[in-house]
Amino acid sequence: MDDSVKGCIRVKFLILVVQQNFTSSHLMVQTPKNIAIIGSGLVGSLLAIYLRKQGHSITVFDRRPDIRTVEFSGRSINLAMSNRGWRSLRKVGLEETIKEIAIPMDKRAMHVVDKPMYFQSYGKEGEAIWSISRGILNRKMIDLAEQAGTVFQFNEKVWDVNLPEAKIYTGESEKSEWKEYEFDMIFGCDGAFSRVRHKMQRRSRFDYSQDFIDVGYKELTIPPNADGTHKLDKNSFHIWPRGNFMLIALPNLDGSFTCTLFLPFEGEVSFDNITTEKEAKQFFKTYFPNVRKEIEDLTGDFFRNPTSAMVTMKCYPWTYWNKVALVGDSAHAIVPFYGQGMNAGFEDIFVLNEQIEKFGDDWDAIFEHYQKLRKPNADAIAELSYRNFVEMSSKTADPKFLLQKKIEKRFTERHPEKWIPVYSRVTFSDRPYSEALEIGDRQEAIMKNIMQTPNIEENWDSLEVEEQILSYL
C-alpha cells in the first residue's frame, strides 16, 4: 500500500471517529476492575482479550491443565466459524490471525447412498463457513490473551462462588482446603456444566433446563495422503446422511479430516449395538463403504474415543447484580447441528462489549441489557439447532420435504432479495437469531400452503407456484 492511499484511509478513519463522537456522545471509558473469568475455553479467552482492551485486570481460572501442554481429548467436533464469529474477532483485530488457521468451506459435499457425490453451495458467491480445529484455535486464543496481559491459572478448580461478594473458592477437591479469592466481578465461561451457574441455579426463581437428545457422537479421523494433501475435497463440509444417523468430515490444516459420527445411543443401529471390532467394521462396511478405507485406524478411533452426549441447556437470569455474568455455553448450550455454538458465544461477547461502550461504569445496566438482548437470541438458536437435528434425523428421506427445499431454493435463486433462507440468515448475517427464527416460521407457513397445490410434484417449477409464493410475501 503506498503512503498516499494510507493517508486517505487515515483521513477517512478520523472522519468516522468524529462522526461517531458526534452521533453517539458517549463511547464510555471504564474504571479498571479486577475480574475473574472461570474457564479458559474459546469464549473465556476471547472475553479476556475484550476486557483487557477496556483496561481491566484479568485472571482466568481453569480446572484443567493448559491445553497448550496436553494432547487433545478426541471428543471434539471441528468448528465452523461463520459471520458472527468473525465479526467478534474483527472487533479486536484478530480476524486475519485466526483465518490463518482456518479453511474456508463454501459448500456441502453430499455422499448419499447409490449416487455419485455432489455439491450444494452454502450461500452466494464468496460466502463460506470456516473449518477450525477446536484444540488449535483454543491454544491460539490463549496465546493471544496471554500476549494481551491476561493471567492464566490452570489446574485450579473452582468449587464454590460467593455471588454477592464475587468471591471464588478453589482447591484440590470439594472436601479439601479451599483458597479464597475476591474479585470485583466474575464471568462464568465454564461451559454447559458451569460451576458458576450451578451456584446461581440453587437460588430461588432461577429458571433452568437441560435436555439431552438420544443421539451421541464420536470423533474419528481421516489422515492426510502421504504427500500431506487432503484425501477429500478440502473446501467442503462432507456429509454422509443415512436417515437417523450420519457422518460428517471437516478439513484440518495438516491434510487430515476430523470426522464425527452421529448415531443413536439405543436402538437397532446404535452405539449400544456396536461393542466389538467386528461390529464396528461391519457397521462401516454396510453404511459407509467408501469412507471406511480412508479412516486408517477405524476401530482404534472407535474404541479409544469416547461417545459423547449432546444437550440443550437454557437458563435465566444470566447475571447476578453487577457481580457475576454467564457467557457462552454456561448461559446457553445448544446441539451442534447448526454449527453456531461458538459463533453464538462470541456474539455474546460482542453484544456485551456494545453495552460496555454504551454504559461505561454502570455495570448493573451493562449486565441487564446484555442478558435481555441475548436471551431471546440464545433461545432462538437453540430452537433452530434442535430443529436441524430433527430435520436431519427424520426428514431427509421424506420426498415431500426434499421437494419443498427444492422449491425454496429455486425461488431464492429467482428472488434473492425476497427470500433469504434461514440458513443464510443464521450463518451469513448478523441480524438477531430471533429474527431468523421468526421469518423462518413465516416462510415455513407459506411453504406449507404451497405444498398443498394440486400436482405440486409436476408443477413445482411453474410460474403459478412462483406467483403464488410472491402473493404470500
Exposure b/e, 393-430, CB count within 10 A at least 16 = b: beebeeeeeeebbebbebbbeeeeeebbbbebbbbbbe
Is residue 364 part of the contact set for its own copies (CB under 8 A)? no
Q: Grid coordinates representing 371? A: 442478558
Nearer to its own copies, 207 or 413 (CB): 207
User: Do 447 and 404 contact (CB within 8 A), yes or no?
Assistant: yes
For residues 89 and 466, give the distance between their C-alpha atoms in angstroms, rounded to a whole number. 40
Distance in Å, CB of 33 to its own copies, minimum: 29
Interface pattern 200-219 for its own copies (x via CB under 8 A): -xx-xxxxxxxxx-------
Nearer to its own copies, 208 or 472 (CB): 208
Element (H, E) at 368: helix 363-390
Distance in Å, CB of 341 to its own copies, minimum: 17
Nearer to its own copies, 160 or 362 (CB): 160
Residues 154, 156, 161, 162, CA torsion sign: negative
User: Do 123 and 424 contact (CB within 8 A), yes or no?
Assistant: yes
13, 118, 119, 193: which one binds its own copies (CB under 8 A): 193
Q: Considering only residues 142 through 181, tell me which ones interact with its own copies, judged by CB under 8 A.
A: 174-175, 178
Part of the chain binding its own copies (CB under 8 A), chosen from 20-28, 33-41, 199-207, 272-280? 199-207
The amino acid occupying position 469 is: I
User: How many residues of this chain bind its own copies (CB under 8 A)?
Assistant: 17
Nearer to its own copies, 24 or 201 (CB): 201
Distance in Å, CB of 270 to its own copies, minimum: 14
Nearer to its own copies, 97 or 176 (CB): 176
Nearer to its own copies, 245 or 271 (CB): 271
Count of Cβ atoms closer than 10 Å to residue 125 Cβ: 6
Q: Considering only residues 114 through 143, tell me which ones interact with its own copies, judged by CB under 8 A.
A: none
Q: Considering only residues 285 through 314, tell me which ones interact with its own copies, judged by CB under 8 A.
A: 309
Nearer to its own copies, 174 or 441 (CB): 174
Q: Considering only residues 239 through 268, tell me which ones interact with its own copies, judged by CB under 8 A.
A: 265
Distance in Å, CB of 272 to its own copies, minimum: 13
Distance in Å, CB of 308 to its own copies, minimum: 8
Closest CA to 451 of 387, 420, 408, 415: 408
Distance in Å, CB of 204 to its own copies, minimum: 5
For residues 76 and 290, give the distance between their C-alpha atoms in angstroms, rounded to a whole number. 23
User: Strands, E, within 32-188: which ranges?
Assistant: 34-38, 57-61, 79-81, 103-105, 107-110, 118-121, 129-132, 151-153, 158-162, 167-170, 179-182, 185-188
Nearer to its own copies, 106 or 379 (CB): 379
Q: Grid coordinates representing 10? A: 487515515
Nearer to its own copies, 178 or 460 (CB): 178
Residues 397, 401, 407, 410, CA torsion sign: negative
The CA–CA distances, whole Å, from 256 to 37, 111, 223 equal: 33, 18, 4
Part of the chain binding its own copies (CB under 8 A), chosen from 27-35, 196-204, 248-256, 425-433? 196-204
CB under 8 Å to 336, separation ≥6 — which residues?
A: 77, 217, 310, 385
The residues that touch its own copies, with contacts defined as CB under 8 A, are 174-175, 178, 193, 201-202, 204-212, 265, 309
